[in-house]
Every structure is written in C-alpha cells, then in structure tokens.
Amino acid sequence: MLGNFTYHNPTKLYFGKGSLDGLNEELPKYGKNVLLVYGGGSVKKNGIYDKVVAILKANGKSIYEDGGVMPNPTVEKLNEGIERARAAKADLILAVGGGSVCDYAKAVSVSVHCADDAWDKYFIRFDDVSCDVVPVGCVLTMVGTGSEMNGGAVITNHAQKLKIGHVFGDNVFPKFSILDPEFTYTLPKYQMISGIYDIMSHILEQYFSGTDDNTSDYIMEGLLRSLIHSANIAVDDPTDYEARSNIMWIATWALNTLVAKGKTTDWMVHMLGQAVAAHTDATHGMTLAAVTMPYYRYILPYGTAKFARYAVNVWDIDPDGKTEEQIALDGLIEMEKWMKKIGLIMNITELGASKAMLDGMVKSTLVMDGGYKVMTERDIRAVLEASF
C-alpha cells in the first residue's frame, strides 16, 4: 500500500510545437536582468539561441550570458556561474539546453545569495537552502534527466573524483519549462540514445523497490512500454514527431517526483554510473547503461518477484512452465537485447574506465538504502568488476 506523502510540483509546462511562445507569457513576471545559460554552442548553430534572444529583447530584458556549460557541470564552472549571476544581479536564470544546463542553473540559483561554498554546502553536507533563490526557467533541447520539472542538480568535482546530486525542494523547481520536441531533432544520435536510457533508468530505479501493491508501479510499467515503443521508432527516424514527443513527455514524468511517492526507491545504478563518470567524464546515460546489467543481475535474488513481474508486464515474457527466477532472468535478457539493439554502450571499458581506476570508483560510489539490497564495498566492487 502507498505510504503517506505530500505532493506538490509548481513547475508550469508549455509543451509542443511553437511552445517557445510561452516565454512571452512568463517573462513579464520577472525583473529586467536575465542570465542566459547554455552549453557548448549547439543552440547557436541550430537557431534556438537566436529565437530566445529575440523574445528576451522583445520583452525588454537585459541579457547576461553564461555559456559553455559542459555535459557534466564542474564545481569550477558552478563557481564561475555564481559570480556571473551576482554581477548581473540576475532576476531570472534562463537555461537553454539539456539536463546538465538545467541542473547547473538550479545549482547557481541556490548559491547566488549564499556566502557558503556551494560545493561544500549542498554536495558534501547536503544542507537545505537557507538563502533567497533566483528563479529558474528552462527551454529544453535534450530529454532524459527530467530536470525541467524537478529540483535535482548534479555537479562534478574532478579533484575529489566525485559526481554528486542534490535534490532540492520544490522552491527550487523551475518556475516554467518550454518543451518543444522539434528542438531535440538536431541532437546527435549518441546523445539521443543516451537520454533515452537515462529516462529508462530513472523509472527502473524507482520501480525496483518495495514489495507492496501500489499505483506507482502500474504507472511506471506503462511509461516503460511507451518508452520502448517510441525509442524503437526514434532510433530509425529521429524526426518522427510522435515518437520524440512521447519520449519527451515520458522523461518529464519519469522524474518529476510523482511516481516516487509512496516508494523507497533504489538509485544505486545512478550512484555507480556517477562514480564511473567522475573518473572518466563519460556521457551520463551511457555510464548508467554500462553498469545496469551487472547491477540488476547482482540484486535479482533479493527482489525476484518484482523482476519477474517486470519481465511479464514490460517485456511480455511467457511465464508458463518457468520458475519465478527464470522468468526474471528472461526479462533481463530481453532488456539487454533491446539495449544493444538501440546502440547503448554495455561496458565501462568503452567509456574509458580501466582496472587502475577500480579502487577509486568503488570509493566514489555513494551507498543508498532504498533498494532490495544495501550494497557493501565488496558488493560495489563486484558489480563494477563485472561492468568492465
């Protein structure tokens, strides 16, 4: 049964073709100074930057730029962004890009008016926000993280070999997000596939927890089936609007806090993947894919019933004449075949990891306690060794 919870998501979404026009409705709500945050420059090449700037100017905004946000935003970049936001006296931070840009914008937003070191306060001590927050809006150009409708922010510290996320409260959620599926068309296939698996992992890491009968699990099974179907289409035709719009919408619902309600949730695939990324700086979704099969095969004995249910309800495994364990294993086999089919990387060696990094990656892996097994250092080492 579902446990007690409070649900509140304040983010307003504008979804579909032409949804960028929603900026004209939102911008008058904020002051004059806008810090425009974006990544490596693809938004300038594909024309989205020019469209956003034109709308900002039409609304009389003063534009201050903070470009160059990398796929795994670093603590050095975060500190630079804090200073840029302070210099601009930003009334709004507008993130134009994918999840990393949105994450980064939120991390800046909670730090501008704080004297504390942002990394130490939020990503080491995991303190609550104790200062004024600069509002954030997002124009999404890549899907996967769900950052457009949640309070998450992930920052990498290369010196400490750590990649850590902080989930802030709903006062840090973007005030609004623009979701136009056509803005994702120019994304390289590698990044599209990586984002698709990030979505899947978000759902699975909430699904593989608990043993009760709860509504969230039924919702997640439907999201997974839709994602698999749409991903198959998008891999063959990246400009199929129906497939790309479905993927975009699934990504938002996968991690806008709804399906986690009433559940403990796992998140060890993310902890393992982030540890790999801290040492390799590899693409997020691919690090998750590379550790997924070793991890789920390792914990399957502790949650066999749920893995068997997943096999039947998501992958259409025929249970007749099979043990519960065989059903569960068959489901993982089908999932692995699908992952390879769409082009995911299935081992961390291809992502730049080496055996020399193993001890460091083990130490960089944070342990969560919401899944079917609380991992020991020995368990983590075994999973990472199987991921090479």
Q: Where are the domains of the chain?
A: 12-184, 189-387
Superfamily covering domain 189-387 = Dehydroquinate synthase-like - alpha domain (1.20.1090.10)
Q: What is the pLDDT of residue 129?
A: 95
CA 316 to chain centre: 27
Common-topology check for domains 12-184 and 189-387? no
Kindly indicate the confidence band of residue 215, based on its pLDDT and cuts at 50, 70 and 90.
Answer: very high
Rounded mean pLDDT of 10-20? 98
Q: What is the pLDDT of residue 4?
A: 86
Residue 284's CB is within 10 A of a number of other CB atoms, namely 26
62 within 8 A of 32, measured Cβ to Cβ: yes
User: Quick one: fold of 12-184?
Assistant: Rossmann fold (3.40.50)
164 within 8 A of 78, measured Cβ to Cβ: no
List of E strands, 9-91: 12-15, 33-38, 62-66
Q: What is the pLDDT of residue 41?
A: 84
Q: What percent of the chain has pLDDT over 70?
A: 99
Kindly indicate the confidence band of residue 3, based on its pLDDT and cuts at 50, 70 and 90.
Answer: confident
Smallest CA-to-CA distance from 187 within 140, 137, 228, 155 is with 140
Kindly indicate the confidence band of residue 109, based on its pLDDT and cuts at 50, 70 and 90.
Answer: very high
- 0.85 surpassed by pTM: yes
Give the SS3 label for residue 93: strand
Q: What is the pLDDT of residue 1?
A: 62
Torsion over CA: 313, 333, 379, 164 (sign): negative
Please check the confidence at residue 321 and state whether its pLDDT lies above 90: yes
Q: Count of alpha carbons within 13 Å of 273, Cβ hemisphere only? A: 28
Give the SS3 label for residue 13: strand
Burial class, 193, CB count within 10 angstroms (exposed 0-12 / middle 13-18 / buried 19+): buried
Counts for the chain of helices (H) and strands (E), in that order: 15, 8
177 forms beta bridges with 13, 138
331 within 8 A of 315, measured Cβ to Cβ: yes
The separation between the first and the last C-alpha atoms of the chain, rounded to the nearest angstrom, is 39
147 within 8 A of 172, measured Cβ to Cβ: no
Please check the confidence at residue 128 and state whether its pLDDT lies above 90: yes
**Backbone conformation region of residue 268, classed left if phi is above 0, alpha if psi is from -120 to 50, else beta:** alpha
Amino acid, single-letter form, for residue 379: D
Q: Following CA atoms 1, 311, 249, 277 in sequence, which dihedral angle do they give, to the nearest 10 degrees?
A: 100
Kindly indicate the confidence band of residue 51, based on its pLDDT and cuts at 50, 70 and 90.
Answer: very high
Q: What is the pLDDT of residue 125?
A: 96
Residue 175 DSSP label: S
Q: Please state, in angstroms and rounded to a whole number, the distance separating the CA atoms of residues 60 and 314.
A: 50
Smallest CA-to-CA distance from 122 within 101, 138, 136, 106 is with 106
Q: What is the pLDDT of residue 46?
A: 92
Give the SS3 label for residue 135: coil
Q: Please state, in angstroms and rounded to a whole number, the distance separating the CA atoms of residues 252 and 272.
A: 23
Q: Please state, in angstroms and rounded to a whole number, the distance separating the CA atoms of residues 171 and 30.
A: 16
Structure tokens at 384: 């990472």
Per-residue pLDDT tens for 246-283? Answer: 999 999 999 999 999 989 999 999 999 999 999 999 99
β 92-97/136-140 pair status:
parallel
Kindly indicate the confidence band of residue 15, based on its pLDDT and cuts at 50, 70 and 90.
Answer: very high
Q: Please state, in angstroms and rounded to a whole number, the distance separating the CA atoms of residues 377 and 366.
A: 10
